[in-house]
Amino acid sequence: MSLPDKVELAIRQIERDFYIDDDYLIKASEYFLQAMDAGLKAPKQSRENMPMIPAHVSKIPTGKEKGLFLAADLGGTNFRVCSIDLKGDHTFELKQSKYRIPPELMKCKKADDLFSYLASKIEVFLEEHHDTAKVKTSEPLKLGFTFSFPVDQTALGKGTLIRWTKGFDIPDAVDRDVVDLLQANLTVLEVNVKVVALANDTVGTLLSRAYQNDPKLTNSNTVIGCIFGTGTNGAYYETITNIPKLTNPPKAAQGMVINTEWGSFDNTLKILPNTLFDEIVDKETANKGYHLFEKRISGMFLGEILRVALLELFERGLIFQELYKERGGSLPHRITEPWLLDAEVLSYIQIDDSTDLKMLGLILQNTLRLPTTKHERIVIQRLTRAISERAAKLSAIPLATIVRRVKDQYKDDDKDFEVGCDGSVVEFYPGFKEAILKAIEVINPLEGTHKRVYLRIAKDGSGVGAALCAAMA
């Protein structure tokens, strides 16, 4: 079914603005490689450089690690506490509890407001799952802290917060050591736990996937840990001589895990596509001008890009005109207020093939209280697909580039390359993973070899990864 001419023209223009072609992917991969080197060199963090943070983990697990550890994970809307018993044979036993972070603690004055809450949940977890009398009197339990925000990490158990992302905003915590903040609040509560390691969720995902991967069975080496969820980021193992900014490398270390913070790739927009909608979304965020790559890819932003695009088309008189009149001059608040359109809703819109897109209509009615005409539903689906396709293709750029960068580390074996992935977008968004793989093929990072790249879901890797970090402390 065709759209009215004016609407069709407007949608085509937007689709063109969002379209990523093969040449772009190859050029952007080249630029990403340069951005990695620049970040590994720059002694100080700046908006211009991708952070490329040394994680102070110099070994990738073999699967033989053993012992009981605690892990705590702060990264999005939930705080997870787990205890992990590593069995030393690629397997583990895990107990965990999830606690929703009260929204008022995501944006608050004092760092201790949030960190005392986190400490109290660790205490509750121990009461529920462990013999607290024993915990009190034994050696302190070692805890690995997964903290998924940009941190300037100076040792395995030390790191100061560079800035908040993903909707958190607690200025008092910036420039402070997040391990100290958690430890101090545990001490106040007399919880017998020692925070020994700090890890980004992507570092955790890399380590936990490597622990679980038995290369003899999968014929692949784990080379990247990454997240495509509320936010996006990735970690990989870099050769020590390629990290000039590391002034004091651990003795005998061949390499080190790097938390790239690729969300901040190209903050100065030298190469990233930039539409009017991207600009509007960036202005709405607390970290304006930062993490611009993330703002084109990850779950927190996909729905918001769609929402502002729809509002723009409304302003131009192209959609929702009847509805506006019927409601006496307003639109439903869930479409006019920022951040209320969840990526999950987009995933249903993406695949609806019912007659007249009726399913999609029901979903918009249920989630946004938004009645739509058939034309409007076509517009919404086409925009959704344009936004998600761009996101998936952009996601391939760091993955393919890192594979290309590390391929020489594995030149003496014939194994394939696997990427451990976690996060709602890569796991659940229809077609996202497949679209990433197609774009990786275009960049063709393993040209000249018979090796392949696999994306493997590494569920809840960050907890096990934090335990593995604690095991190294």
Just list the catalytic residues.
Answer: 148, 163, 201
Q: Between 323 and 458, whose beta carbon lies closer to ligand BGC?
A: 458
Q: Between 142 and 166, whose beta carbon lies closer to ligand BGC?
A: 166
Q: Between 235 and 256, whose beta carbon lies closer to ligand BGC?
A: 235
CA distance 407 to 402: 8
**Closest CB 363 distance from ligand BGC, rounded Å:** 26
Q: Between 56 and 166, whose beta carbon lies closer to ligand BGC?
A: 166
**Closest CB 79 distance from ligand BGC, rounded Å:** 13
Q: What is the three-class DSSP state of 67?
A: strand
Residues lying near ligand BGC in the complex (CB under 6 A) are found at: 75, 148-150, 165-166, 200-202, 227, 231-233, 261, 263, 294
User: Residue 384: is it exposed, middle or buried by C-beta count within 10 angstroms (0-12/13-18/19+)?
Assistant: buried
Cα end-to-end distance, the chain, whole Å: 62
Q: Between 78 and 330, whose beta carbon lies closer to ligand BGC?
A: 78
CA distance 303 to 306: 5
Cα→Cα distances 17→134, 278, 389, Å: 61, 11, 12
Q: The tokens of 217 are what?
A: 């069975």
CA distance 213 to 419: 11
Report the candidate in 254, 224, 206 with the shortest Cα–Cα distance to residue 466.
206
**Closest CB 144 distance from ligand BGC, rounded Å:** 15
Q: Between 231 and 361, whose beta carbon lies closer to ligand BGC?
A: 231
Report the candidate in 194, 197, 111 with the shortest Cα–Cα distance to residue 147.
197
**Closest CB 206 distance from ligand BGC, rounded Å:** 11
Please name every residue paired with 416 in a beta bridge, in sequence order, or none if there are none: 220
Torsion of CA 364, 365, 369, 375, to 10 degrees: 70
Q: Is 455 within 8 Å of 392 (Cβ atoms)?
A: no
Q: Between 69 and 265, whose beta carbon lies closer to ligand BGC?
A: 265
Q: Is 305 within 8 Å of 346 (Cβ atoms)?
A: no
**Closest CB 351 distance from ligand BGC, rounded Å:** 25
Determine the residue with CB nearest ligand BGC.
231
By DSSP bridging, strand 78-87 and strand 92-100 are antiparallel
Q: What is the largest CA-CA distance in the chain?
A: 75
**Closest CB 152 distance from ligand BGC, rounded Å:** 12
Please name every residue paired with 227 in a beta bridge, in sequence order, or none if there are none: 233, 422
**Closest CB 414 distance from ligand BGC, rounded Å:** 31
CA distance 315 to 378: 18
User: Residue 180: is it exposed, middle or buried by C-beta count within 10 angstroms (0-12/13-18/19+)?
Assistant: middle
